[in-house]
Amino acid sequence: MVYIAGMNRPVDTGETYFGEVARSKVSGSMEARRRLFRDNIKGLPVEGGKPLEARIEHARLIVDCPNCNSAEYAFEDKLFLCSECGNSDIGGSARRVKMPKNRTEIEELLSVRPIKNRHWYPRETMKDLQSENITYGLEV
């Protein structure tokens, strides 16, 4: 069976999504195992600019690449290296990622939504998410 982000938890990170795919006997499981190996990224120099903010889209915690406009899953190590451009604008250094402070509460509020509607942007407050849930008759 193919794993879809959000099937086993409200929101998937790089670890949880690629962990699920790596355990599956499907095309892409070898690539998923490779993506779980983060030592190559942890060994890179880290750019000192403002951290990139993670957001949630379709039950996936992701980070947008400011260089090529691609997006990648966010990992718990809070480092970002774009698989499309390799952060070429900063010489291949890793970027820091800012995770949501109230991530547990965000995920709880999103958990009642269909996967296709599990979205959150850093500008949104808990009150915003609660209001949306109430508007659509969803309760936590």
**pLDDT per residue over 64-104, tens digit each?**
999 999 999 999 999 999 999 999 999 999 999 999 999 99
Which of 46-50, 95-99, 121-125, 136-140 shows the lowest mean pLDDT across its residues?
136-140
CB 97 within 8 A of CB 51: yes
Backbone angles phi, psi at 55, to 5 degrees: -140, 170
Neighbours of 104 (CB within 10 A): 10
Q: Which pTM does this prediction carry?
A: 0.92
Which amino acid is residue 119, in one-letter code?
A: H
Name beta bridge partners: 63: 72
In this model, does residue 139 exceed pLDDT 90? Answer: no
Q: Cα dihedral sign for 41, 43, 49, 54?
A: positive
Return the H-helix or E-strand segment holding 23.
Answer: helix 14-23
